[in-house]
Amino acid sequence: MSIYPFETVRELKEKLIKKTISPREVYRFYAQRYTEIDHKIGALLEFFDQESVFESSVSQASLYGIPGLLKDNICQQGRITSCASHILENYKAVYDATVSHRLKREGLLLVGRANMDEFAMGSSTETSAFKKTANPWDLTRVPGGSSGGSAAAVAAGIVPWALGSETGGSVRHPAALCGIVGLKPTYGLVSRFGLIAYGSSLDQIGLFSRTAYDAAMIFSIIAGYDERDGTSLHVEPKDYTHGIEKGVSSGLRIGVVDYEKNGHGMDPEVVAANEEAIRTLESLGATITKISLPALEYSAAVYFIISRAEAASNLARFDGVRYGLRNKEANQLQEMYHLTRRDGFGPEVQARILVGNYVLSAGHSGEFYDNALKVRQQIRQEFIDAFKNVHLLVMPTHPVPAFSFGQFDQDKLTMDLQDFFTCSANLAGIPAISLPCGFTKNRLPIGFQLIGPALSESLLFQVSHAFQQKTDWHLQHPSL
């Protein structure tokens, strides 16, 4: 059988079209891969049986037979969708998310659900109620988070693509730590219908792949207006691979965002790899300039406040009444709410709800929440102003490479600050893509990110594809 675990979506599609492999053979190959590999890394919460996978996908569709994973906060009808939380441990989604429906309609095989930080709250996939996921490059280290399961599965060759979700960097961060591509789209470009909400003004479904071309292929299916999402942009679906081979035009201007290279806990190897990536972009023909975004310094603080405030509201629905876990010992309704949420939410989720309700409470909302909204506007405006002078921005995705399990157990703030470079794009609602750009001397992946103005995904794919034609970081794989 001529399938190799690190095939791209593009390569698999060609083989399926030529009928050198069949969809069932593909499924069996990756099921075998899962059996052989996943006990080492724990990327998946569930791998679905062959019959149910094929029943729900449309045969003869354009990408029929290509397997992928969804993060466990994206509803797949009839499947458990637990957000890696005890409070939804046995909850089966009663409908498909829009992205699930669109992927199945194009024939993609949704073969499982990926592990994640509980309710997408974390940067390491350690807060999952069910298991930890290991980084395929070093099994003693985290894959990043919160979409760590999705990232680890793609990096390990269990699937060629996967979906995750971003609120503050939860696709780009694990993509960088696992050495793969991770895209966060423009806010509103991918429907949030069926994505279990964390921070509604920040959440976006994103995707993982090995190559920018693959990302464009999958993105073409999930992007586009959805009437069931009240924040969906009126943008028609289109083929994002169109024009991707154009390369970097001589007039392309890329702004390098100024940041403190010795600050924010920056690892020198991460700094060096990012600077090399910038030189590569320059060698491709881009004009590089320096850009200052003074409000960037406050982006993490703003993100902490707004995301937690919205989370406190969004997670209020998990109270044992309509779905999920219910504490059966309670004799009275209020007691049931309290005990259900005590038993169902892990400590990280509880902490974020408490912070969220604190910053919204009387006497504190002016100091925290209202001010955060003002500074968020400032961050957005700085990006808008920057894009008047450059087409794209570049900055690191992460301050340090994959860290050890438990490294930040006693220092939650430093853990949360792993989102320092990513969260500003979420606050501004603009797209960004993380690409592999090197390795540390310990063979841990390093990523950098390109950030564009709203609806610039085509340009991001074009430049990313050109970068990957010039480099081979994305062609390297962990040995498992």
Partner 1 sequence: MIISEHEIAAIATLSAITIKKEEFVPLCDQVIQILQYAEMVKDAAQNSQTGCIDMRKSNTFRDDLAIQSDTTALLNASPSHDGSYFVVPLILETSR
Active-site residue (options: 57, 85, 100, 170): 170
Phi, psi (deg, nearest 5) at residue 316: -65, -20
Decide if 196 contacts 119 (C-beta within 8 A): yes
- Binding-residue pattern over the window 200 to 239 for partner 1, x denoting contact by CB under 8 A: ---------------------------x--xxxxx-----
Do residues 122 and 145 make contact, with C-beta atoms less than 8 angstroms apart? yes
Closest among 428, 117, 455 to 303, alpha carbons compared: 428
Is 353 one of the binding residues for partner 1 (CB under 8 A)?
yes
Q: What is the DSSP string of 248-317?
A: --TT-EEEEEP--TTSTT--HHHHHHHHHHHHHHHHTT-EEEEE--GGGGGHHHHHHHHHHHHHHHHGGG
* Residue 146: active-site member: yes
Report which of 73, 72, 139 is spatially closest to residue 112, judged by C-alpha positions: 72
Q: Are 452 and 391 in contact (CB under 8 A)?
A: yes
With beta carbons less than 8 A apart as the criterion, state whether 119 and 198 touch. yes
Q: Is residue 342 close enough to count as binding partner 1 by CB under 8 A?
A: yes
CB of 220 to partner 1, least distance (A): 21
Q: Phi and psi (nearest 5°) for 406?
A: 80, 0
311 binds partner 1 (CB under 8 A): no
# binding residues, partner 1 (CB under 8 A): 69
Residue 305 in the binding site for partner 1 (CB under 8 A): yes
Q: Which is nearer to partner 1, 262 or 413 (CB)?
A: 413
Amino acid letter, 352:
R
Q: How far, in Å, CA of 237 to CA of 190, rounded? A: 10
Query: In this structure, what token pair is assigned to residue 462?
Result: 């074009």
Interface map 243-262 toward partner 1 (x if CB under 8 A): --------------------
Told to check if 377 binds partner 1 by CB under 8 A, we report yes
Write out the binding residues for partner 1, residues 387-426 only, by CB under 8 A. Answer: 412-413, 416
Query: Is residue 301 part of the contact set for partner 1 (CB under 8 A)?
Result: yes
359: enclosing H helix or E strand: helix 347-360
324 binds partner 1 (CB under 8 A): yes
Kindly tell me which of 34 and 337 has the beta carbon lying closer to partner 1: 337
Catalytic residue among 57, 123, 146, 150: 146
Contact letters for partner 1, residues 58-97 (x by CB under 8 A): ---------------------------------xx-x---
Task: Say whether 71 is catalytic.
Answer: yes
Candidates 18, 332, 441, 479: give the one binding partner 1 (CB under 8 A).
332
Report helix, strand or coil for 16.
helix
What is the pairing mode between strands 287-291 and 253-257?
Answer: parallel
Catalytic pick among 13, 56, 57, 71:
71
**Which of 61, 271, 272, 375: binder of partner 1 (CB under 8 A)?**
375
- Detail the DSSP E strand segments found in 52-128: 67-71, 109-114
Q: Which of 365, 371, 407, 471 binds partner 1 (CB under 8 A)?
A: 371
Would you give the DSSP letter of residue 404? B
Of the listed pieces 160-168, 264-272, 342-350, 399-407, which binds partner 1 according to CB under 8 A?
342-350
Choose, by CB under 8 A, the member of 74, 205, 286, 312 that binds partner 1. 312
Q: Phi/psi of residue 112, each to 5°?
A: 180, -175
Does residue 452 interact with partner 1 by CB under 8 A? no
Which residues are catalytically annotated?
71, 146, 170
The residues binding partner 1 (CB under 8 A) are 91-92, 94, 188, 227, 230-234, 295, 297-298, 300-302, 304-305, 308, 312, 316, 319-326, 330-339, 341-342, 345, 347, 350-351, 353-355, 357-359, 361, 367-368, 370-372, 374-375, 377-378, 380-381, 384, 412-413, 416, 429, 454
